[in-house]
Chain A
Amino acid sequence: MLVVFLRAVLLYAVVVFAIRLMGKRQLGELQPSEFVITILISNIATLPIEDTGTPMLLGIVPILTLVCLDVIMSAATLKSRRLRRMVSGSPKIIISDGIIDQKLLKELRYTVDDVSEALRSQGIFDISDVQYAVIETTGAVSAFLKNPKQPLTFEQPKPAENPPQVVIDDGDIIKRSLKFLGLDEQWLRGCLAAEGARRHEVFLMTAKPDGSYKLIRKEKGL
């Protein structure tokens, strides 16, 4: 009994350390790989606690290995957008200008009921009220309402338009977003020239379909 108690205390400390090592990202919305690792850790941790014949290290080693690999993979995905898309996938636009992309829904194996349910949880009960909706990499649905359905603010109402898209992410051009906005790389090069910035110096650049944009340069040393 004392052995089981001490094993549980030790493994609790290891699991807490492991979760802390994974960082704050772990505590928010889980990416697919993080979700798998969280389930694996909980399973692995129970084995040495329950079975006193199993050495503690056979529980600690796989937990630490999984967490370390996850942290290394997170760092690698931070550097490579392609790897990030491979590991976590990319957000998919399922409603644009109020029109549902049925082909994409089928590809994602999402039913209209799933989308309606996700929208209802955000207080949206009519799909036609949605200007733009995205299925995030975590599986959550984010929606942007059409102008007449937007909450009232002090700003003048603007004509209906899709929200801004990220066109440069950490120096990488997002061609998909440019295509979605109806813009091209020539327009992007013009904007960068006007700002006197080179592509790899840009941390984030967002643009709207009307060609207006916002640009944030990388801080020095990053």
Chain B
Amino acid sequence: MKRLWVCCAILAVMLVMASSWVYYLKKSSERLSLMIDEAEQLAEQRSPKAAEAIGELCSYWDSFASTAAFFESSATLMSISDSAAKLEYLYAKDNDEFFSECEVIRSGADRIFRSNLPFLPNR
């Protein structure tokens, strides 16, 4: 009987962890999307605050990626981290690829969230 309760407890913990993870991914991808919007807007205006916004975006992505590494495959995270690492350089060089790399990060984070949903979401 003790074994049964241990199993029920393990299953409950895993269910809570999985649900919390999906919730965390949703919130993180939403926040990341807002940060990208802000960074893109400031970069378009060549605002002095743009470099700061890009730095914040990169550090937020780094903290998200280190948490996500517990549940997500490293190949997916690495390809997005590569894009994040390029942002500051591309902005400094005033390269248009800055915006495409921003979209890579946005769609990557969104893809990670959607791949964790147990159903096909309506788009």
Contacts and interface: CB of A to CB of B under 8 A. Distances in A.
A65 B11 contact: yes
Nearest to A76: B4
A156 B118 CA distance: 68
What secondary structure prevails in chain B residues at the interface with A?
helix
A21 B8 CA distance: 12
A112 interface: no
Interface stretch (B23-31, B71-79, B91-99): B71-79
Contacts of B74: 52-55
A113 B7 CA distance: 42
A53 B73 contact: yes
Contacts of A191: none
Which of A21, A23, A52 has the most chain B CB atoms closer than 10 A to its own CB? Answer: A21
B14 interface: yes
A67 interface: yes
Contact of B3 (A23, A56, A65): A23
Which of A54, A55, A65, A75 has the most chain B CB atoms closer than 10 A to its own CB? Answer: A55
Given A54-B73, A56-B70, A68-B10, 16 more contacts: A21-B6, A23-B3, A53-B73, A53-B74, A54-B74, A55-B70, A55-B72, A55-B73, A58-B71, A58-B73, A61-B14, A61-B18, A71-B3, A72-B7, A72-B8, A72-B11
A52 B74 CA distance: 8
Given A61-B14, A65-B14, A53 B7 contact: no
